Each structure stands twice: as C-alpha cells, then as structure tokens.
Structure 1
Amino acid sequence: MSDDGEKGAPTASTGNSGRNPWRFLPVAFVGLGLGLGYAFGFQDYLSLGFLAEQRDALKAFVESNLVLSAVSFLVIYTLAVAFSFPAASILTIFGGFLFGWVLGSVLVAIAATIGATLVFLATRSAFGGFLRARVSGVVKRLADGFRDNAFGYLFVIRLAPIFPFFVVNIAAALFDISLARFFAATFLGILPGTVAYAYLGQGVDSVLVAAREAGREAEISDLVTPEITFAFLLLAGVAAIPTIVSQLRRRG
C-alpha cells in the first residue's frame, strides 16, 4: 500500500468518529455533574470556613470511623476531580487535616489521578481525534513535540501548579498522549505538591484560629507562602532540564 493510502485510512476513521454523537456522552456527563454540584451548593463545603466550623465534628467522625472516612474521602475527591470542580488544593488540605499528611497524601494522590484520568478519557473521546486531525502550523508542531515528550512535559506541568489542575486534564486530552503516560506523569508529578499541601493541612488549626480571631475567614493564601511557591517552580525547572536537553540535541 502507498504512503497516501496509509495516511488516508486514519482520516476516514476520524471522519466516522466525528459523526458519532455518542462520543460526547462522557463529557456531557462531566458537565452535568459539575452543574448539579454547583446547583446543590457543593462548593459551599469546599472552603476553609466550612472546615473551621466543622473541624471538631469531622475529626471525631474520622477517629471513630477511619476506614469509612478514608473511603468516603477517596470517592468524594475522585468525583470532585472527575467533574472538574476547581477544588484540588482545598480538598488536599482537608485530607492532611483529617488523616495526617502521610495517609492524606496517599488518598489524595490516588483519587486525584483516577479523577484526572476520567476527565482525560472523556475529553479525548469527544474532541481529541477530531481536533488533532484539523490542527496545522505552530499548533501541530506543538502537538507533535508534546506527543514525542509527553511524559516529560506533563510531569513538569504537574510539578509546578501554574495551571489549574482541571485545565491540564482537559488540555492533555487534545494531544496524542497514551493513557499509561498520562496516568504515570500525573501520579508522580502531583506527589510533591500533594505532600506539601497535605502537610500544610495537618497544621491548619493554628491558621483557622488566627483568622477567626482576626474576624475573617481563612484562605489558602494564609497557608501557602511565597517560599513554597518558589520551591515548586524551582523543582519544575530542574525536572524540565532533561526534556529541554533532548529537544536541543534533536534540533542540533
């Protein structure tokens, strides 16, 4: 078969999948879940103010029902990420406060990776192939570079929380990245930030008390210092070095 014939086959397949309305079902389900969550006020429970009000009751429940609490937290976190609620940081702080930084980090890393993977699969099934078949020029070169170094690029993006977590989940699906690479880069990339935020959550009591005495609601910015943010950026910069060197060698 000629090269033209080989290139033509994927195009036809893409065209058929583009006419399949069922491919939008997973992403429609995500949108529905996000809408229902906001409609029922789920966002009201994702704040340090709620944690300040309910911290004694939550702590008591976890101490009496550790396994049930851990499983419930795992499910809630997974659903929050899967439905793209912008609440990863606050839920990670919750995890550290309720379960300690070690168990909290483990639960968050597992739940966040599973939830992110579900969003990735939903977005890829709906738009991934359709958009990849139509990009050209600079965007296509960017997509090709991302595909060739998918793990390295995604790993660096996950290390430095510059972009919202749910945005990265969606954006990654628009490039040709394998599921295994997405899963591994996400799990490993979020570990440093997960441990840091869970550790902050473990000591959040003093921040909550200080905010209450000041007559205001505590915010994440009260916990995250400029030094921590700089450390994340520095870590991401170091992790990006192998990928940058690899790109320079190819161009040379």
Structure 2
Amino acid sequence: MKKNVSRGLVIGAIVLLFVLFFVLDLSRYLSLEYIKSQQEMLLAFYRENTMATIGIFMGIYILVTGLSLPGAAVMTLASGTVFGLFTGTVVVSFASTIGATLAFVVSRFLLRDWVQARFKDKLRAINQGISKEGEFYLFTLRLVPVFPFFIINLVMGLTPITTFRFYLVSQIGMLAGTLVYVNAGTQLGQIDSLKGIVSPGLLLSFALLGCFPLLAKKGVSLIKKERS
C-alpha cells in the first residue's frame, strides 16, 4: 500500500513538472538562439558568481536529464560557451550522469516490475546482453549513440544492472561524447559574424560531431575483437 502511494506521489510530481515545462514554454530558454542572445549576460554573471552559476546550471541540467525533457544537447553546447572546455566538460559529465541515474532510478521504481512481467520476451535480448557482456554492453550503448540517451536511461532501469554500475559506466561511456559537444560549444560562442561560421575551429568541431559515432563504433569493434 505504501509503495503504491509513493509511486502515485512520484508520478504526480513528474506529471506536474512536465505540465509546467510545456505550459510555461520553458523550452524557449533551452534553445541555442536564446543562449546566443544572452551570451554576454551569462558570461558576466559567471565571472561574478562562478560557483552559483555552476550550481544553478547543474541543477537545471540534472532536472532536464532526469525528466527526459528536451534541451540537454543545447545545454551541453552552452556549457562550452560559458564555462570553456575543461570546466564545461567536468560540469556536464557529472550533471548528465547524475540526471541519467535519476531517470534510471525513477524508471526502475515506477516501471520495472510491470514492464518485466508484461514485456518479458521483448526485453530478453537486453537482459541477455547485460548478463553476457555486463557493463561493456551499457558502455557500448553510451559510446555509440545509436539510441537517444534518455531511452537508454529508462530501459536500463528495467534491467538487472545495479545503480552504482549504471552510474560508473555512464560517467565513463559518455565522457568522450560530452567532450566533443562541449568543444563545439566553445567554438559556437566565438561566432560574431558570418565569417565565424566557416572558421577552422568551428568546422573541426562539427566534423568531430559528425565523425564521432563512426569512430566510436570502430573503437568498440576493435575492443570486442581483442576480447574474443
């Protein structure tokens, strides 16, 4: 009975946050256009309130990721614009992993028993992948972005993997992709004219964004070959 009440409260809170997000049109604040228009203000606020800016940013990022709301990719780019490559990568790495783990835990708490019972056959392949390759299976999903990360967070909550292992593997597996996106954000922050669009740094950043999935897939194939 208590568990059902707890689930009801969690579902109610999630629904309320979703409604507020879309009714208040908060997504407009998570657009690249808005970030660019407020770039100078954000940079000034960061210089004067460094830790507060990082804390607020991480809180919003964790909430967005934990609720599987749109905007995480733009926030990752924005972190490069505001924080720079090193700080932006560290901040997003922890915020994205904490948020992903929150979504994982909520999925497990609300859906695991029901989904495993109802869709046991359909989840068999994922369960077998976890059982056979363990953390490397999740690492592959994180490194090669075949599926959107929010789907991975929710689906993994339905599998036997432990929360600690999910967090640790996600932190490591998403680091390379985070670095690529934050680096692209540092270049976007430097665009102040049409000439900036064709700058070597920006072109290289977008080349990395396009090539990263292919390079990651090749790397995973090489690792699998070494393990076999």
- Give the Cα separation in 2 of the matches to 1:45 and 1:127: 31
- Give the Cα separation in 2 of the matches to 1:186 and 1:171: 14
Cα pair 2:187 2:205 within 8 Å, conserved: no
* Higher mean C-alpha deviation, range 77-86 or range 93-102: 77-86
Structure 1 residues 142, 169: closer, same or farther in 2, change over 3 A?
closer
Q: Over alpha carbons, which structure has the higher Rg?
A: 1
- Give the Cα separation in 2 of the matches to 1:210 and 1:28: 47
Is it true that 1:53 corresponds to 2:34 in the alignment?
A: no
Structure 1 residues 100, 226: closer, same or farther in 2, change over 3 A?
closer
Is it true that 1:171 corresponds to 2:152 in the alignment?
A: no
Structure 1 residues 63, 227: closer, same or farther in 2, change over 3 A?
closer
* Higher mean C-alpha deviation, range 21-30 or range 121-130: 21-30
Deviation at 1:139, TM superposition (A): 3.7
Q: Which amino acid is the alignment partner of residue 127 of structure 2?
A: A
Is it true that 1:33 corresponds to 2:14 in the alignment?
A: no
Aligned residues: 224
Cα pair 2:183 2:205 within 8 Å, conserved: no
Q: Which amino acid is the alignment partner of residue 116 of structure 1?
A: A
Partner secondary structure for residue 85 of structure 1: coil
1:239 equivalent in structure 2: 220
Aligned Cα RMSD in Å? Answer: 2.9
Structure 1 residues 196, 212: closer, same or farther in 2, change over 3 A?
closer
Cα pair 1:149 1:243 within 8 Å, conserved: no
Q: Which amino acid is the alignment partner of residue 214 of structure 2?
A: L
Unaligned runs of 5+ in 2: 198-202
After superposition, give the CA deviation of every residue in 1:12-59 in whole Å (9 maximum; x if it has no partner). Answer: xxxx99x93533543443333222112222100111111221111111
Partner secondary structure for residue 184 of structure 2: helix
* Aligned mate of 1:81, from 42, 58, 65: 65
Q: How does 1:1-252 map to 2 (within 5 A)?
A: 20=4, 22-137=6-121, 139-207=123-191, 209-210=193-194, 225=206, 227-243=208-224
Deviation at 1:209, TM superposition (A): 3.5
- Give the Cα separation in 2 of the matches to 1:48 and 1:84: 18
- Give the Cα separation in 1 of the matches to 2:12 and 2:169: 26
* Higher mean C-alpha deviation, range 225-234 or range 83-92: 225-234
- Give the Cα separation in 1 of the matches to 2:20 and 2:224: 41
Structure 1 residues 135, 83: closer, same or farther in 2, change over 3 A?
closer
Deviation at 1:223, TM superposition (A): 8.8
- Give the Cα separation in 2 of the matches to 1:178 and 1:150: 11
1:10 equivalent in structure 2: none
Q: Which amino acid is the alignment partner of residue 184 of structure 1?
A: L
- Give the Cα separation in 2 of the matches to 1:244 and 1:134: 36
Unaligned runs of 5+ in 1: 1-15, 214-221
Cα pair 2:27 2:70 within 8 Å, conserved: no
- Give the Cα separation in 1 of the matches to 2:218 and 2:19: 36
Cα pair 1:155 1:185 within 8 Å, conserved: yes
Deviation at 1:224, TM superposition (A): 6.2
- Give the Cα separation in 2 of the matches to 1:211 and 1:25: 52
Q: Identical aligned pairs, as a percentage? A: 29
- Give the Cα separation in 2 of the matches to 1:205 and 1:224: 12
Partner secondary structure for residue 159 of structure 2: coil
